[in-house]
Structure 1
Amino acid sequence: MQRLRAFFLFCSGAHVPMLQRAPVETNKYAGIGGTIFFTGLLAAISGGYALWTVFNELWAALLFGLVWGLMIFNLDRYIVSSMKKRDQFWPEFRMALPRLVLAVLIAVVISKPLELQVFDKEIQAELVTMEQQVYKTQEDKVKDRFQLRINALQAEISQLHTAIRLQAAKRDTLALIAQQEADGTGGSRIRNLGPIYKAKKADADRAEAELQALTTRNLQLISERQQQLQAVDSAMKASIPTRSRLDGLASRLDALGRLTDRSIPIRWANWFIILLFIAIECAPVFVKLISPRGPYDDLLQQHEHAFEIHRKQQMAVREAAFRERMDQLAVRS
């Protein structure tokens, strides 16, 4: 227990030998040191998880998490240890304000990866939706690039079919006219197979021959266009990129942003997590700021004052010695 307290006192940045002369302050600084330590621990976990989601390498995540946690620990320790109690709240608050802003920034940074882990299931579901949207967008872009050629081929095929239908309709009309001329229901209204019928029958036969030739030619062209259409369709399908898996840190942050924009409960839960980390990160600064001046602060001020007096005395001695040497040089000259 004593070793744990000594470790937390080290984490608080307090001068342990001087703090031993004010034992009533030990618990306060041990609590501050514990808060700083666990903030660094959370930062290490957060940084390691963030790097794990990016590179998926365990050793790199552990190394980065350790370095990141030590950096945050050392920064928090410096922030708290550099604050001095002088029983002047507003001057002390103005001095602490930049430290509080820095603490808020650190809290936001270390909380984000842990938020991603808390909402991991919801984020995974949102990532599937995002993957589908990205794939659909890529597919539409590729289809738009090939659609003009596809429409042109389909229009040519439709025109070739239309030409066959029109020629067949013309053939049927001429055949009907010849038949009506033969049975007397149309034309000259005389039932016979005379020269008029023969002329109309020749027109119908010529239309039939033209239909056969047109059908043969157009069906061949239709077959060619359909092969070209299949080739374009194959090229279009080959150009569509495969569906990629979104699992990076940026994709997860984007998914979390979408969830918070769409869901009010998730938005509030997200803010509560951020505020919790801000409170944890700012707790040592606030404790140091609002705590009353204690014996340790008096001892620290006495030590600083004694050092300042000693420094001024040394400067005065050096200045006097310098003036004496200058006077001696002036007399000799």
Structure 2
Amino acid sequence: MQIHTITRFFWFCSGAHVPLLKRLPTETNKYVGIGGTVFFTGLFASLAAGYALYTVFDSLLIASIFGLVWGLMIFNLDRFIVSSMRKRNKAWSEWKMAFPRLVFAVLLAIVISRPLELKIFEKEINRKLDEKKMEMIAQSKLAIDKGFPEIQSLEAKKDSIQAETEKAIAFRDKLQQEYDFERFGTKTDGTSGIVGLGSNARKKEQQLDAAQKELDGTRLSNQARIDTLEAEISRLMAFREAEFLKRAPQIESFDGLAACLDSLYALTQESEAIKWANYFILLLFIALETAPIFVKLISPRGPYDEVLELREENVQVYVKEQSFKTKKRSERNIQLFESEVFS
């Protein structure tokens, strides 16, 4: 009973007329194969579409519903295509009739193959997305920095003040060295070379004390200015950081379907292996999507096709007979009507 139920289901998937197939047991396996191909093509389409929507909405429920609807649509379309193709031992006419369907099947294959390609190359795509995010972060920081030129100006002022302090320290250190040389009798262009605290040493000491006093004043004044500048720099940097934090979520969410497709394209340009793997995956899905049509095209004409054509011809003959009878009846009625009117 289980096998019989599965057989009937695949017959339904093939679009065949079940009561007619029951009378032709030799055709059972043929249409089970055609129906199975149609069914699994729809199943693969459903899985691919569901994954594509999951990457967009990140919702399992939405992805499942849309994937089911998409799979049913593809299933119904393939079933219609296969059931509408007739085997009449005219290969060229059959291929000509199937050509538009094959083109449409290829387009569908391209659409449904993309999501699964994204899944197959997920790790490589994530790595590429991380690189892109880092690049976007760097560009964003650079753009934000350009929007706060005051920070660089204040940093330059701070460096200038610090240079002024360092210059005063260097001058003090120079006087300290001259004072030490004078005390210890080291002969230079600016010292006497006499050991001890003589008049020259005291004069050097006074100059050193004045330089130290001036340095202390400069340090105190400059530190106050530096503190003011640093406070302003900290305030502007806080604004800059807040501006970056506003953009950060947009950068972090840069992992949608379009971004993944762009990353996959970039990977195919960088790696020959990925490019060829991408081509073969696409060809595989084209083969899967066009399989129902090719199965119907390559299947030989059998008893089912003979009986079906006979029934269709019987219907055509019956329609012609009824049309001829109706036409003759109408002509006879017109003649009777004319004879009554003109008699």
TM-score computed with the length of structure 2 as normaliser: 0.77
- Structure 1 match to 2:234: 230
Distance of 2:56 and 2:274 partners within structure 1: 24
- Structure 2 match to 1:27: 29
In the superposition, relative to structure 1, how do residues 234 and 18 fare at CA in structure 2: closer, same or farther (>3 Å)? same
Distance of 1:167 and 1:46 partners within structure 2: 74
- Structure 2 match to 1:87: 89
Q: State the superposition RMSD in angstroms.
A: 4.0
Aligned length: 325
- Structure 2 match to 1:201: none
Letter in 2 for 1:233: M
In the superposition, relative to structure 1, how do residues 165 and 8 fare at CA in structure 2: closer, same or farther (>3 Å)? closer
- Structure 2 match to 1:145: 147
Alignment partner of 1:303 out of 308, 311, 314? 311
Q: Do the aligned residues in 2 keep the contact of 1:47 with 1:68 (CA within 8 Å)?
A: yes
- Structure 2 match to 1:111: 113
Is 1:8 aligned to 2:10, yes or no?
Answer: yes
Superposed displacement of residue 141, structure 1: 1.7
Alignment partner of 1:266 out of 274, 278, 289? 274
Letter in 1 for 2:308: L
TM-score computed with the length of structure 1 as normaliser: 0.79
Partner SS for 1:86: coil
- Structure 1 match to 2:298: 290
Q: Do the aligned residues in 2 keep the contact of 1:261 with 1:267 (CA within 8 Å)?
A: yes
Letter in 2 for 1:36: V
Q: Do the aligned residues in 2 keep the contact of 1:171 with 1:207 (CA within 8 Å)?
A: yes
Distance of 1:153 and 1:129 partners within structure 2: 33
Is 1:67 aligned to 2:69, yes or no?
Answer: yes
Matches within 5 A, 1:211-222: 220-222=224-226
Q: Do the aligned residues in 2 keep the contact of 1:131 with 1:245 (CA within 8 Å)?
A: no
Letter in 2 for 1:149: E
Listed as ranges, the gaps of 5+ residues in structure 2 are: 175-187, 190-198, 200-209
Superposed displacement of residue 100, structure 1: 0.6
Distance of 1:330 and 1:108 partners within structure 2: 67
Partner SS for 2:147: helix
- Structure 2 match to 1:179: none
In the superposition, relative to structure 1, how do residues 158 and 124 fare at CA in structure 2: closer, same or farther (>3 Å)? closer
In the superposition, relative to structure 1, how do residues 169 and 51 fare at CA in structure 2: closer, same or farther (>3 Å)? closer
Distance of 1:101 and 1:42 partners within structure 2: 19
Alignment partner of 1:256 out of 239, 253, 264? 264
Cα deviation, 1:83-108, whole Å, max 9, x if unaligned, reads 11222222221110111111112222
Cα deviation, 1:219-240, whole Å, max 9, x if unaligned, reads 5444323322221122111211
